[in-house]
Copies of this chain bind each other. A is one copy, B any other.
Protein backbone atom coordinates (compact mmCIF):
# COMPACT_ATOMS: atom_id res chain seq x y z
CA UNK A 1 0.00 0.00 0.00
CA UNK A 2 2.95 2.39 0.41
CA UNK A 3 6.21 2.67 -1.52
CA UNK A 4 8.16 5.17 0.58
CA UNK A 5 8.22 6.25 4.22
CA UNK A 6 9.62 9.67 5.06
CA UNK A 7 10.59 10.93 8.50
CA UNK A 8 10.92 14.39 9.90
CA UNK A 9 14.15 14.75 11.93
CA UNK A 10 14.08 17.40 14.71
CA UNK A 11 11.80 16.35 17.58
CA UNK A 12 10.79 13.25 15.62
CA UNK A 13 14.02 11.22 15.62
CA UNK A 14 16.12 13.29 17.98
CA UNK A 15 15.95 15.95 20.70
CA UNK A 16 15.67 19.50 19.44
CA UNK A 17 12.94 21.70 20.92
CA UNK A 18 14.43 21.23 24.36
CA UNK A 19 17.63 22.99 23.24
CA UNK A 20 15.60 25.91 21.94
CA UNK A 21 13.67 26.12 25.21
CA UNK A 22 16.96 26.10 27.11
CA UNK A 23 18.30 28.80 24.81
CA UNK A 24 15.16 30.86 25.29
CA UNK A 25 15.51 30.49 29.07
CA UNK A 26 19.07 31.71 28.96
CA UNK A 27 17.95 34.68 26.87
CA UNK A 28 15.15 35.53 29.30
CA UNK A 29 17.59 35.33 32.22
CA UNK A 30 19.81 37.82 30.42
CA UNK A 31 16.87 40.13 29.85
CA UNK A 32 15.86 39.96 33.52
CA UNK A 33 18.76 42.30 34.28
CA UNK A 34 17.14 44.94 32.12
CA UNK A 35 13.59 44.57 33.47
CA UNK A 36 11.28 42.23 31.65
CA UNK A 37 7.61 41.38 31.77
CA UNK A 38 5.28 38.83 30.21
CA UNK A 39 4.40 41.08 27.26
CA UNK A 40 8.09 41.32 26.36
CA UNK A 41 8.36 37.55 26.25
CA UNK A 42 5.41 37.33 23.87
CA UNK A 43 7.06 39.98 21.72
CA UNK A 44 10.04 37.68 21.18
CA UNK A 45 7.85 34.82 20.00
CA UNK A 46 6.12 37.07 17.46
CA UNK A 47 9.42 38.55 16.35
CA UNK A 48 10.93 35.14 15.76
CA UNK A 49 8.05 34.08 13.53
CA UNK A 50 8.15 37.38 11.61
CA UNK A 51 11.85 36.96 10.93
CA UNK A 52 11.38 33.54 9.31
CA UNK A 53 10.75 35.33 6.03
CA UNK A 54 14.33 36.59 6.11
CA UNK A 55 16.28 34.03 8.10
CA UNK A 56 14.26 30.84 7.59
CA UNK A 57 14.22 28.14 10.27
CA UNK A 58 17.09 27.14 12.49
CA UNK A 59 19.58 28.21 15.12
CA UNK A 60 21.01 31.22 13.27
CA UNK A 61 17.52 32.59 12.70
CA UNK A 62 16.67 32.00 16.38
CA UNK A 63 19.75 33.81 17.63
CA UNK A 64 19.56 36.73 15.19
CA UNK A 65 15.98 37.25 16.38
CA UNK A 66 17.07 37.14 20.01
CA UNK A 67 19.75 39.75 19.37
CA UNK A 68 17.31 41.98 17.51
CA UNK A 69 14.48 41.77 20.05
CA UNK A 70 17.02 42.05 22.86
CA UNK A 71 18.10 45.42 21.49
CA UNK A 72 14.51 46.59 21.04
CA UNK A 73 13.20 45.36 24.36
CA UNK A 74 16.01 46.97 26.36
CA UNK A 75 15.76 50.15 24.29
CA UNK A 76 19.35 49.68 23.24
CA UNK A 77 20.66 49.13 26.77
CA UNK A 78 21.65 45.51 26.24
CA UNK A 79 25.40 45.14 26.73
CA UNK A 80 27.62 43.71 24.05
CA UNK A 81 28.81 41.04 26.50
CA UNK A 82 25.24 39.77 26.59
CA UNK A 83 25.03 39.78 22.81
CA UNK A 84 28.26 37.80 22.73
CA UNK A 85 26.59 35.29 25.05
CA UNK A 86 23.85 34.83 22.46
CA UNK A 87 26.38 34.24 19.67
CA UNK A 88 28.17 31.71 21.86
CA UNK A 89 24.79 30.09 22.48
CA UNK A 90 24.36 29.75 18.71
CA UNK A 91 27.74 28.06 18.36
CA UNK A 92 26.92 25.78 21.26
CA UNK A 93 23.55 24.78 19.82
CA UNK A 94 25.11 24.21 16.40
CA UNK A 95 27.73 21.87 17.86
CA UNK A 96 25.39 20.08 20.26
CA UNK A 97 25.60 16.31 20.29
CA UNK A 98 22.67 14.54 18.66
CA UNK A 99 20.50 12.65 21.14
CA UNK A 100 18.43 10.07 19.26
CA UNK A 101 15.12 9.19 20.94
CA UNK A 102 14.66 5.78 22.51
CA UNK A 103 13.39 3.12 20.14
CA UNK A 104 14.34 5.00 16.96
CA UNK A 105 17.17 2.70 15.87
CA UNK A 106 15.08 -0.47 16.26
CA UNK A 107 12.16 1.17 14.44
CA UNK A 108 14.34 2.26 11.51
CA UNK A 109 15.96 -1.18 11.31
CA UNK A 110 12.54 -2.79 10.89
CA UNK A 111 11.11 -0.21 8.54
CA UNK A 112 14.18 0.08 6.30
CA UNK A 113 13.99 -3.68 5.71
CA UNK A 114 10.52 -3.14 4.23
CA UNK A 115 10.56 0.32 2.63
CA UNK A 116 13.01 2.86 1.27
CA UNK A 117 13.22 5.61 3.88
CA UNK A 118 13.70 9.33 3.30
CA UNK A 119 14.55 12.11 5.74
CA UNK A 120 12.75 15.40 5.09
CA UNK A 121 13.93 18.14 7.40
CA UNK A 122 13.94 21.92 7.43
CA UNK A 123 16.41 24.42 8.87
CA UNK A 124 20.05 25.40 8.48
CA UNK A 125 21.44 23.20 5.73
CA UNK A 126 24.87 22.66 7.29
CA UNK A 127 23.44 22.01 10.75
CA UNK A 128 20.85 19.51 9.50
CA UNK A 129 23.42 17.59 7.46
CA UNK A 130 25.81 17.52 10.39
CA UNK A 131 23.13 16.20 12.75
CA UNK A 132 22.15 13.54 10.23
CA UNK A 133 25.75 12.38 9.97
CA UNK A 134 26.26 12.50 13.75
CA UNK A 135 23.02 10.63 14.50
CA UNK A 136 24.39 7.33 13.23
CA UNK A 137 21.08 6.82 11.43
CA UNK A 138 22.23 7.64 7.89
CA UNK A 139 22.62 3.94 7.03
CA UNK A 140 18.84 3.45 7.25
CA UNK A 141 17.96 6.20 4.80
CA UNK A 142 17.91 6.04 1.02
CA UNK A 143 17.59 9.83 0.65
CA UNK A 144 17.79 13.07 2.60
CA UNK A 145 16.04 16.30 1.65
CA UNK A 146 16.80 19.49 3.54
CA UNK A 147 14.14 22.06 2.67
CA UNK A 148 13.60 25.68 3.64
CA UNK A 149 9.89 25.16 4.27
CA UNK A 150 7.48 22.22 4.41
CA UNK A 151 4.55 23.40 2.34
CA UNK A 152 2.45 21.02 0.25
CA UNK A 153 4.17 22.51 -2.84
CA UNK A 154 7.54 21.44 -1.43
CA UNK A 155 6.29 17.91 -0.73
CA UNK A 156 4.76 17.81 -4.19
CA UNK A 157 8.13 18.70 -5.69
CA UNK A 158 9.87 15.91 -3.77
CA UNK A 159 7.23 13.31 -4.71
CA UNK A 160 7.58 14.32 -8.35
CA UNK A 161 11.35 14.10 -8.31
CA UNK A 162 11.29 10.62 -6.81
CA UNK A 163 8.19 9.65 -8.88
CA UNK A 164 6.24 8.64 -5.79
CA UNK A 165 2.42 8.47 -5.88
CA UNK A 166 1.08 10.61 -3.00
CA UNK A 167 -1.31 7.82 -1.97
CA UNK A 168 1.67 5.48 -1.63
CA UNK A 169 3.69 7.87 0.55
CA UNK A 170 3.74 8.01 4.36
CA UNK A 171 5.22 10.93 6.31
CA UNK A 172 5.99 10.54 10.03
CA UNK A 173 6.57 13.58 12.21
CA UNK A 174 5.72 15.64 15.27
CA UNK A 175 4.55 18.84 13.57
CA UNK A 176 0.96 19.12 12.38
CA UNK A 177 1.82 22.21 10.36
CA UNK A 178 4.91 20.85 8.65
CA UNK A 179 4.70 17.06 8.59
CA UNK A 180 1.03 16.14 8.67
CA UNK A 181 -1.36 18.65 7.10
CA UNK A 182 0.54 19.37 3.84
CA UNK A 183 0.95 15.63 3.18
CA UNK A 184 -2.73 14.89 3.87
CA UNK A 185 -3.59 17.76 1.52
CA UNK A 186 -1.74 15.98 -1.29
CA UNK A 187 -3.58 12.73 -0.59
CA UNK A 188 -0.70 11.07 1.23
CA UNK A 189 -0.55 9.20 4.53
CA UNK A 190 0.63 11.03 7.64
CA UNK A 191 1.49 9.68 11.07
CA UNK A 192 1.57 12.24 13.87
CA UNK A 193 3.65 11.82 17.04
CA UNK A 194 1.44 13.77 19.39
CA UNK A 195 3.49 13.49 22.58
CA UNK A 196 6.80 14.67 21.15
CA UNK A 197 7.88 18.18 22.19
CA UNK A 198 6.87 20.64 19.50
CA UNK A 199 7.43 24.34 18.97
CA UNK A 200 4.08 26.14 19.29
CA UNK A 201 4.50 27.58 15.77
CA UNK A 202 4.52 24.02 14.42
CA UNK A 203 1.33 22.96 16.11
CA UNK A 204 -2.12 23.67 14.83
CA UNK A 205 -4.54 22.06 17.26
CA UNK A 206 -7.53 23.77 15.67
CA UNK A 207 -7.26 21.48 12.65
CA UNK A 208 -9.47 18.44 12.62
CA UNK A 209 -7.75 15.28 11.51
CA UNK A 210 -10.63 13.05 10.61
CA UNK A 211 -9.13 12.13 7.26
CA UNK A 212 -8.77 8.50 6.37
CA UNK A 213 -5.03 8.67 5.88
CA UNK A 214 -4.28 10.42 9.17
CA UNK A 215 -2.73 8.20 11.83
CA UNK A 216 -2.05 9.37 15.35
CA UNK A 217 0.16 7.85 18.00
CA UNK A 218 1.82 9.23 21.11
CA UNK A 219 5.40 8.25 20.42
CA UNK A 220 8.00 6.16 18.61
CA UNK A 221 7.18 2.93 20.45
CA UNK A 222 3.64 2.82 19.02
CA UNK A 223 4.48 3.33 15.34
CA UNK A 224 4.97 -0.30 14.30
CA UNK A 225 1.72 -1.47 15.91
CA UNK A 226 -0.18 1.37 14.30
CA UNK A 227 1.20 0.54 10.85
CA UNK A 228 0.32 -3.13 11.26
CA UNK A 229 -3.15 -2.25 12.56
CA UNK A 230 -3.78 -0.01 9.54
CA UNK A 231 -2.53 -2.68 7.17
CA UNK A 232 0.40 -0.55 5.92
CA UNK A 233 2.89 -3.06 7.29
CA UNK A 234 2.41 -6.81 7.37
CA UNK A 235 3.25 -8.60 10.58
In the bound complex, do residue A71 and residue B56 qualify as a contact, i.e. CB atoms below 8 Å apart? no
- Could you say how many copies of this chain the assembly holds? 2
Minimum CB–CB distance for A159 against chain B, Å: 16
Q: Is A81 an interface residue, CB under 8 A from the partner?
A: yes
Minimum CB–CB distance for A79 against chain B, Å: 7
Q: Which of B63, B79, B149 contacts A64, CB < 8 Å?
A: B63
Q: Is A126 an interface residue, CB under 8 A from the partner?
A: yes
Q: Tell whether A67 pairs with B81 under 8 Å between CB atoms, given A60-B61, A124-B125.
A: no
In the bound complex, do residue B71 and residue A84 qualify as a contact, i.e. CB atoms below 8 Å apart? yes
* Chain B residues within 8 Å of A83, by CB: 67, 71, 80, 83
A interface residues, how many (CB within 8 angstroms): 33
Task: Type the 1/0 row for A58-71, where 1 means its CB is closer than 8 Å to any CB of B.
Answer: 00110110011001
Q: Is A148 an interface residue, CB under 8 A from the partner?
A: yes
Stretch in contact with the other chain, from A35-43, A88-96, A202-210: A88-96
- A166 to B63 CA separation, bound complex (whole angstroms): 40
In the bound complex, do residue A90 and residue B54 qualify as a contact, i.e. CB atoms below 8 Å apart? yes
Q: Which residue of B lies closest to A74 (CB)?
A: B80
Q: Tell whether A76 pairs with B67 under 8 Å between CB atoms, given A55-B94, A148-B129.
A: no
In the bound complex, do residue B71 and residue A90 qualify as a contact, i.e. CB atoms below 8 Å apart? no
